[in-house]
A and B are shown apart, each in its own frame.
Chain A
Amino acid sequence: MDTLLSVENLTVKFRLRQGDLTAVDNVSFTLGRGERLGLVGESGAGKSVTGFSLINLISKPGFIDSGSIRFEDIEITRLSDTAMRKVRGEKISMIFQDPMMTLNPVLTIGTQMIETLRAHVGCSRRQAEAIALENIRKVHIPSPEKRLKQYPHEMSGGMRQRIVIAIALMASPGLIIADEPTTALDVTIQAEIMDLLLELCATEGVGLILITHDLAVVSQVTQRIAVMYAGRIVETGDTQQIVHRPKHPYTQGLLAALPQHSNRQNRLNQIPGVMPSLIKIPPGCSFHERCDLCQDLCREQIPQLNEKSSGAHVACHLAE
């Protein structure tokens, strides 16, 4: 598969009064053309910041400290603001959690779609309208002509998220970053939106980075997963393999903590404690304080993300 995106040793920091906070620490991953990758983790793990940095949406006091992000043959970290605007929406689109916050409440859907398109592609109004209609049809919204004249508040949450997806697709980007796209929606709607994303990735050949805390969703939609913990990737590899045979103690704990059909009404496995605050990440492995297997080595040395016998990459001194 030819590589669409490659991120190498990305470090994102936030400058605070107490010192620098490392939100993303030395993260590397690649994505093939048309591939679907899941970034999984709990709140504060750095998954959203990783997503934002791919289109350079890190604003002060945050900054990309080091590392490289290559999309096709563009080095994202070195782009000027104007060049970056061309990349956003045209080559990489982003879908956010809350569709009510992403859409402008005082503009009609039509205005917002046509504006986006004309800003990026520079076509006539009529052409833009035709493309907008075609994209609304692609996301399976009935009577698209009527929808163009409506305002966001006239639609339900699921419909709005479909519109956001339609807008994201308009300039035929190579990559869509979806940051918790269904967290604000109900399960039946979530299933529809995920189906839609899967279908569009297949028909349009778009790559997808799905950022979510929901392991079940990610296991159904993506081909590969990267599990993040306290700013670092702790395990990455084939989705089914990680879900069924996790190697890192954190991934194991996380999966065991999910209620499963088989252990109804029994106690759940719980990971003791909470994720460390990013301001004071412990030395060594950031998970060692919560890990049952912790040894002296874990307290001293940061484990590297190494390929294990199973083919997965795991950042743990003890996983084999």
Chain B
Amino acid sequence: MDTTHAHNAAASSATPLLETVNLVKHFDISGGLLDRIQWRGSNLEFARTVVRAVNNVSLSIAKGETLSVVGESGCGKSTLARTVLGLYPPQSGQVLYRGERIDNLSPQQMLPYRTKMQMVFQDPYASLNPRMKVREILEEPVRFHHKEKSRSEVKDRVAEVMKQVGVCPDWGERYPHEFSGGQRQRISIARALVVDTEFIVADEPISALDVSIQAQILNLLMDAQEQRSLTYLFISHDLSVVEHISTRVAVMYLGFLCELAPTEELFTNPRHPYTQALLSAIPQLGAPSQDHIRLSGDVPTPINLPPGCVFHGRCPHADKRCRREIPAFLASGDTTLVACHGVEEGRI
């Protein structure tokens, strides 16, 4: 296991398949003119309310690896995933695919990349059009991206992928509502695989499913990765699933990356205090409820980010510097990156 990690780390520094550089995504939720009027003293002001969903995120994903982004709800992991695919335009920063910038391309210029980058969504009930037959859902992307393909070629391609994901091709004439949640998620995965996919963003692909079905879908994702050497950006809040399938793991808190490390390293030797708290909170099967690290307080809103390190309000190790200065994302050890003053100073 260690050699593959070293290999992956080396590969990622050479030619990342996907890279984000200081990616920032904010949402303006101030609303209309009247909503923005505020009194400050005796002056009238127009205030802006901004949700700082993703702040300065830089990461790179090597070909063939699974990079997971974990974090609690509202930490910006889904926004990051969507910004990477260009579903949201970023405020600033860059997204690079095979070294080429893709965040500033026109929809037309983006087309060749769209066949390579696909997405699997969380809710298989909402992400399949209920008015389309499964065959139509799966044929649409092939016909759109490969206009040169004949009708029978498209049909063969769809049948092949359906077989691969374990959905009988004869069921193509059915509608999504006739399938169970697990089957529907198979269909969404098939939809992501019918074009020349290299890179899949999977946003909580199994959290809407039952345990026994989760295992089926995870196996399917791992098999597909092996057969087609796919690269995954896997978004999840379920840490045991993340530990199972990822090559490397990035931990996010309030739109900032706190730690990025190879899976084994992160789970055995978490460095950032938030990662430590998060890992200690995972319920372990059969183990008595251990003394997990208790965090005080709640996650602040991304509307008013605290100054300094965003985690300082809940961190047991916070000091004056943490309250003032945003920590840089620095290397700690060979393969780990951590954004923490305490780790940098050797206090933690």
Question: Which residues in A have some Cβ–Cβ distance to B below 8 Å?
Answer: 42-43, 156, 158-159, 186-192, 194-195, 198, 213-217, 219-221, 240, 243-244, 253-255, 257-261, 263-265, 267-271, 274-275
Contact = CB atoms under 8 A, between A and B. Distances in A.
A188 B295 contact: yes
Contacts of A267: 219, 222-223
A124 to B, nearest CB: 34
Contacts of A187: 72, 237, 239, 278, 281-282
Nearest to B73: A186
A215 B32 CA distance: 48
B285 A188 contact: no
A308 B346 CA distance: 55
15 contacts: A158-B298, A188-B72, A188-B277, A190-B283, A192-B294, A213-B211, A214-B283, A219-B283, A219-B287, A220-B284, A243-B285, A257-B214, A258-B240, A264-B244, A267-B223
B289 A198 contact: yes
A186 B72 contact: yes
B243 interface: yes
Residue of B215, B239, B267 with highest tally of chain A CB at under 10 A: B215
Contact of A268 (B210, B219, B289, B292): B219
A271 B209 CA distance: 14
Contact of A159 (B237, B244, B298): B298
Interface of B: 1, 72-73, 180, 182-183, 210-216, 218-219, 222-223, 237, 239-241, 243-245, 263-264, 267, 277-278, 280-289, 292, 294-295, 298-299
Contact of A257 (B212, B264, B286, B298): B212
A159 B222 CA distance: 38
A159 B267 CA distance: 29
A42 B72 contact: no
B281 A269 contact: no
Give me the 5 closest cross-chain CB pairs, A-B, nearest first.
A259-B244, A257-B215, A186-B72, A216-B283, A42-B210
Contacts of A216: 240, 282-285
B286 A274 contact: no
A235 to B, nearest CB: 15
B244 to A, nearest CB: 3
Contacts of B243: 259, 261, 264
Given A264-B1, A264-B263, A255 B210 contact: no
Contacts of B1: 264-265
B215 A268 contact: yes
Contacts of B223: 267
Interface centre among A187, A240, A261 (most CB of B within 10 A): A187
B212 A265 contact: no
B5 to A, nearest CB: 11
Contact of A269 (B182, B215, B282): B215
A42 B208 CA distance: 12
B285 A215 contact: yes
A137 B342 CA distance: 34
B292 to A, nearest CB: 5
A211 to B, nearest CB: 14
A194 B294 CA distance: 12
Contacts of A188: 72, 277-278, 281, 295
Nearest to A268: B215
Contacts of A268: 215, 218-219, 244
A221 B289 contact: yes
A217 B299 CA distance: 22
Residue of B223, B282, B286, B292 ringed by the most chain A CB atoms within 10 A = B286
A276 to B, nearest CB: 11
A274 B184 CA distance: 13
B285 A42 contact: no
Contact of A217 (B218, B283, B294): B283
A156 B182 contact: no
Nearest to A42: B210
Given A244-B286, A267-B222, A274 B213 contact: yes
Contacts of B263: 264
A258 B211 contact: yes
Q: Which of A158, A189, A255 has the most CB of B within 10 A?
A: A189
A43 B210 contact: yes
Contact of B216 (A195, A244, A270): A270
Contact of B240 (A156, A159, A259): A259
A234 B219 CA distance: 26
Given A259-B218, A268-B215, A220 B283 contact: yes
A42 B211 contact: yes
A219 B286 contact: yes
Interface centre among A42, A188, A195, A220 (most CB of B within 10 A): A188
Given A187-B237, A188-B72, A274-B182, A219 B244 contact: no
Contacts of B244: 259-260, 263-265, 268
B215 A271 contact: yes
Contacts of B219: 267-268, 270
A265 B211 contact: no
Contacts of B182: 274
A259 B214 CA distance: 10
Nearest to B274: A188
A256 B180 CA distance: 22
Nearest to B66: A265
B28 to A, nearest CB: 22
A247 to B, nearest CB: 15
Contacts of B280: 191
A258 B72 contact: no
